């Protein structure tokens, strides 16, 4: 979750009522960027890199192939079953999806008073939203916190990462002539450059259902990294037309795929999605970021409901 407000801006707003928001935001943005860079180079990520170097995970062929693809193009796809062989785990995810869809649709039919949405992003209904306790009995949290996924994230980021965000989304279909808004438009996630997001499609997703879309090579270090380059809290994003003029549409990857597809992606690169005009797109998502991001730019979306003793050291680090 991106940080919305800090103590600093609250204080400035109380003292400088006139122009306060604009002034405090500009000063604050500079401070947050500097804090991020300090945590990335010295304070937080250095220790995290040392922990990783001291205990590199052993990846199997499936994990190595995901890692190689993300390193090369910024994304990888793999069937959930290739990473998690236990058929029961998938069945638990489907049961969770069915409960979530039934509850969401019942609530939407009554006017949507109780669905969990974020202001400005009402097209995404969330299963958890923010600040909820989640434990390993939750099948998606169990997958995201597992070494099967965490080891890939840590190997990609080359440090012990933080599992910063876990949720399940229901994208409410929009009128075909609606304008794309928010994450339906091309953007880079500004919360970290050391970022690995995972999406697990829980329904088949076709072209009309707002598939996740990505510009391969736009991740930091990739050939398109210099197009409106990533920066902490970056906000200078191109219009849809500008991006499309710079990056040929043949280069854009649209992830139409069957349910059970896992997409790993560095979303510091350009991406968009969720603009369904037909059926709801339902997916589970998780974000791994560096400790520097949690220290300066983001807030964890959940509270781990288990006890630290029930998980190993890299997992404990990721969940704390």
Per CB under 6 A, residues contacting ligand AKG are 183, 189, 197, 212, 267, 271-274
User: How many beta carbons lie within 10 A of that of residue 111, not counting itself?
Assistant: 8
Rank residues 139 and 273 by Cβ distance to ligand AKG and give the closer one.
273
Smallest distance, ligand AKG to C-beta of residue 139, A: 20
Measured from the CB atom, is 13 or 77 closer to ligand AKG? Answer: 77
Say if residue 302 is exposed, middle or buried (CB neighbours under 10 Å; 0-12, 13-18, 19+): buried
Q: How far apart are CA 35 and CA 10, in angstroms?
A: 18
Least Å from the CB of residue 267 to ligand AKG? 5
Q: How far is the CB of 235 from ligand AKG (least distance, A)?
A: 15
Choice between 121 and 142, CB closer to ligand AKG: 121
Query: In whole angstroms, how close is the CB of 20 to ligand AKG at the nearest point?
Result: 29
- At its nearest, how many Å lie between ligand AKG and the CB of residue 55? 30
Dihedral sign (CA 256, 258, 263, 267): positive
Nearer to ligand AKG, 126 or 197 (CB): 197
d(CA 172, CA 199): 17
Tokens of 134: 């989640």
Q: In this structure, how many other beta carbons lie within 10 angstroms of the beta carbon of residue 310?
A: 11
Q: Which is nearer to ligand AKG, 31 or 258 (CB)?
A: 258
Q: Kindly tell me which of 212 and 230 has the beta carbon lying closer to ligand AKG.
A: 212
Nearest residue to ligand AKG by CB is 273
State the Rg of the chain over Cα. Answer: 19
d(CA 150, CA 306): 17
Nearest-approach distance from CB 44 to ligand AKG, in angstroms: 22
Cα 278 from chain centre: 24
d(CA 291, CA 98): 34
- Are 167 and 301 in contact, with CB atoms under 8 Å apart? yes
Least distance (Å) from ligand AKG to the CB of residue 255? Answer: 8
Q: Residue 149's closest CA among 229, 63, 64? A: 63
Q: Between 151 and 189, whose beta carbon lies closer to ligand AKG?
A: 189
User: Which two three-digit tokens encode residue 264?
Assistant: 């790993």
């Amino acid at each position: 979750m991106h940080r919305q407000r800090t103590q600093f801006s609250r204080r400035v707003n109380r003292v400088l009522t006139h122009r306060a928001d604009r002034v405090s935001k500009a000063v604050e943005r500079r401070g947050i960027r500097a804090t991020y860079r300090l945590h990335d180079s010295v304070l937080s990520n250095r220790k995290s890199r040392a922990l990783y170097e001291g205990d590199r995970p052993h990846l199997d062929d499936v994990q190595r192939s995901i890692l190689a693809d993300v390193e090369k193009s910024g994304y990888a796809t793999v069937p959930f079953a290739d990473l998690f062989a236990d058929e029961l785990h998938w069945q638990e995810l489907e049961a969770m999806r069915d409960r979530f869809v039934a509850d969401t649709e019942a609530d939407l039919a009554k006017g949507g008073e109780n669905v969990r949405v974020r202001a400005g992003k009402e097209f995404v209904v969330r299963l958890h939203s923010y600040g909820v306790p989640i434990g390993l009995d939750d099948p998606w949290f169990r997958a995201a916190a597992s070494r099967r996924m965490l080891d890939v994230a840590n190997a990609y980021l080359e440090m012990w990462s933080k599992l910063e965000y876990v949720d399940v989304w229901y994208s409410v279909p929009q009128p075909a002539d609606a304008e794309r808004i928010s994450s339906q438009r091309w953007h880079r996630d500004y919360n970290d450059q050391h970022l690995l997001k995972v999406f697990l499609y829980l329904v088949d997703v076709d072209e009309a259902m707002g598939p996740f879309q990505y510009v391969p090579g736009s991740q930091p270090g990739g050939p398109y990294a210099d197009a409106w380059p990533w920066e902490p809290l970056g906000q200078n994003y191109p219009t849809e037309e500008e991006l499309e003029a710079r990056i040929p549409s043949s280069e854009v990857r649209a992830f139409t795929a069957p349910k059970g597809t896992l997409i790993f992606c560095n979303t510091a690169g350009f991406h968009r999605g969720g603009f369904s005009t037909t059926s709801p797109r339902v997916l589970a998502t998780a974000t791994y970021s560096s400790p520097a991001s949690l220290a300066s730019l983001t807030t964890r979306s959940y509270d781990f409901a288990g006890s630290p003793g029930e998980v190993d050291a890299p997992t404990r680090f990721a969940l704390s």
